[in-house]
């Protein structure tokens, strides 16, 4: 199993290209099930989760080809996927595939919308809380699907097709909004989605669906309206840049000091995180190439932050920010409001010398001047990269074990950091 070895103390200086957003690429790939024509996706990141979803879609009879680099492509440019679901041969998504990645459960929406039936295993994924699928099932029921549970599988039936309806989510749900959008696109009549998630990835998926012939308005706001169509056609769409990856490298640059250009990053996608980093002492400027982050000499200032749905501070950057606050000049507080069990990185950061105390949903971090390298264990995707950030600033060697979590969400992480001066390498046993 691969490990990542880091010798801390080097400032980061240079350019880090930002890859396509995993959290948009996955639902966009699933949306390919909605049409018998080919959907072409550009700037798809090369991630373990993308490869796993290709296997899951292949089980349904979807043909996916990855086009290689072309003349003029920039370094790290994402892959282009041609997704063809002309013949869906199986409407069952089995446990052994779905259990490895929670987002794959979302295939239930296009399958029941287009094929009028689906049988999908209850999901797996990161161990950061239950993240139940009840709101997803509720959304499909509002559109006329008959939902039942059979031996660990969710069975959705709509023999006469889905019909438009009103979906009022009791709490903001990104996965529920994705499912509702895909299902409503092929439902007869109008659908109104209230308390919809406003994340940029939702708007990106809606933009692609509209290119495919859907009639969606309001994506990116709490109320989305969808006028169903009889069929969708093929289209070409470019995945938006990954705001979580951009925020992660911005935090790494703030942690180590130095000066880093985040090429292709879009500030409007992560403004709340940039505001927090400014409060923490980072210098941030926006230019034609993306976002520039620098911290030269100034200490890291403590901050108080609560995670919140977009446009608030992202839960997917909480662990990274905590790693930064470990070296702040004073006490910080971070409150996690989205997922339970998302403080599993605390005990691993403590191995590097961090002083963190937990009280319910809130972590208090008492900053220290110096971390010391140690062997640590990754517990989930975002927690694992927080350990990398801490290791970059720690004295001596840090060995991050179980880095397959990192490969699920960060494309060529060690290459991008090494190009900016980090002493980091992957060790394959």
For residues 365 and 333, the answer to whether their CB atoms sit within 8 Å is: yes
Give the residue from 151, 209, 143 showing the smallest Cα distance to 176. 143
Instruction: List CB contacts of 369: < 8 A, sequence separation 6 or more.
Output: 327
Give catalytic status of residue 126 as yes or no. yes
Instruction: List CB contacts of 280: < 8 A, sequence separation 6 or more.
Output: 254, 300, 301, 302, 303, 324, 325, 328
What's phi and psi for 72, nearest 5 deg?
A: 95, -10
C-alpha distances (whole Å) from 346 to each of 167, 178, 303, 318, 378 are 38, 31, 17, 11, 11
Question: For residues 220 and 198, what is the distance between their CA atoms, to the nearest angstrom?
Answer: 4
Give the residue from 90, 116, 173, 111 showing the smallest Cα distance to 139. 173
Catalytic residue among 126, 198, 208, 420: 126
Token code pair at residue 152: 């660990």
One DSSP character per residue, 283-332 reads EEEEETTEEEEEE-SPPPPP-EEEB-STTSB-GGGHHHHHHHHTTSSSEE
For residues 4 and 376, the answer to whether their CB atoms sit within 8 Å is: no
Edge-to-edge strand order for the sheet containing 355-359? 304-306, 331-335, 362-366, 355-359
CB atoms within 10 A of CB 227: 15
Give the residue from 279, 344, 348 showing the smallest Cα distance to 318. 344
- How would you classify the pairing of strands 215-217 and 235-238? unpaired
One DSSP character per residue, 29-57 reads HHHGGG-SSEEEEEEE---HHHHHHHHHH
Q: Is there a cis peptide before residue 154, judged by omega within 30 degrees of 0? A: no
Beta bridge pairs of residue 188: 163
CB atoms within 10 A of CB 360: 7
Give the residue from 346, 339, 291, 341 showing the smallest Cα distance to 316. 339
Three-state DSSP state, 220: coil
Catalytic residues: 126
């Amino acid at each position: 199993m691969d490990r990542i070895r880091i010798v801390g103390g080097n400032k980061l200086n240079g350019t880090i290209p930002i890859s396509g957003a995993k959290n948009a690429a996955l639902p966009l790939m699933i949306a390919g099930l909605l049409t018998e024509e080919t959907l072409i996706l550009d700037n798809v990141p090369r991630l373990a989760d993308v490869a796993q979803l290709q296997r899951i879609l292949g089980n349904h009879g979807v043909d996916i080809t990855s086009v290689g680099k072309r003349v003029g492509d920039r370094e790290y440019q994402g892959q282009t996927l041609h997704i063809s679901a002309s013949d869906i041969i199986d409407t069952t998504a089995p446990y052994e595939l779905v259990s490895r990645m929670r987002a794959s459960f979302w295939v239930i929406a296009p399958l029941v919308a287009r094929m009028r039936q689906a049988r999908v295993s209850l999901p797996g994924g990161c161990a950061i809380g239950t993240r139940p699928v009840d709101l997803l099932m509720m959304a499909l029921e509002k559109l006329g699907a008959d939902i039942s549970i059979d031996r660990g599988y969710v069975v959705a039936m709509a023999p006469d097709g889905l019909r438009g309806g009103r979906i009022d989510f009791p709490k903001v749900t990104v996965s529920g909004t994705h499912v509702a959008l895909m299902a409503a696109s092929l439902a007869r009549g109008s659908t109104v989605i209230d308390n919809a998630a406003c994340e940029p990835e939702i708007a990106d998926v809606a933009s692609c669906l509209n290119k495919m012939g859907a009639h969606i308005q309001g994506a990116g706001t709490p109320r989305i309206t969808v006028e169903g169509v009889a069929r969708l056609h093929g289209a070409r769409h470019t995945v938006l840049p990954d705001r979580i990856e951009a925020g992660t490298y911005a935090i790494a640059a703030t942690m180590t000091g130095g000066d880093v250009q985040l090429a292709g990053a879009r500030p409007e996608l992560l403004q709340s995180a940039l505001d927090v980093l400014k409060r923490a002492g980072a210098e941030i400027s926006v230019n034609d190439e993306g976002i520039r982050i620098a911290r030269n000499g100034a200490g890291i200032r403590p901050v108080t932050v609560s995670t919140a749905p977009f446009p608030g501070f992202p839960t997917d950057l909480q662990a990274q920010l905590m790693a930064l606050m470990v070296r702040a000049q004073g006490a910080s507080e971070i409150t996690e409001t989205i997922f339970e069990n998302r403080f599993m990185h605390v005990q691993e950061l403590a191995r590097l010398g961090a002083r963190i105390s937990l009280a319910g949903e809130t972590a208090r971090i008492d900053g220290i001047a110096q971390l010391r390298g140690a062997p640590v264990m990754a517990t989930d995707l975002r927690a694992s990269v927080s350990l990398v950030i801490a290791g970059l600033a720690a004295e001596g060697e840090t060995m991050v074990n179980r880095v397959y979590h990192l490969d699920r969400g960060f494309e060529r992480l060690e290459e991008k950091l090494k190009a900016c001066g980090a002493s980091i390498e992957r060790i394959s046993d």
